[in-house]
Amino acid sequence: MVFIVMVDAYVIQVIEVISAKLRSVNMANWI
């Protein structure tokens, strides 16, 4: 159970990092 919680937290962090990178890329494209 603890392992699953750790994986869930890791996946959420990865998704947040990817979405942040996509947002920065979109901002760069708009300029």
Give domain status of residue 30, yes or no.
Answer: no
pTM of the model: 0.59
Count how many domains the chain has.
1
How many Å apart are CA 19 and CA 11, to the nearest integer?
12
Q: What average pLDDT values come out for the chain (31 residues) when binned by 10 residues?
A: 87 96 84 58
Give domain status of residue 2, yes or no.
Answer: yes
How many Å apart are CA 21 and CA 27, to the nearest integer?
10
Give domain status of residue 31, yes or no.
Answer: no
Give domain status of residue 11, yes or no.
Answer: yes
Domain of residue 14 covers 1-25
Following CA atoms 15, 16, 18, 23 in sequence, which dihedral angle do they give, to the nearest 10 degrees?
140
Give domain status of residue 1, yes or no.
Answer: yes
- Token pair recorded at residue 8: 């869930």
Position 14 scores a pLDDT of 97
Chain centre distance of CA 20: 6
Give domain status of residue 5, yes or no.
Answer: yes
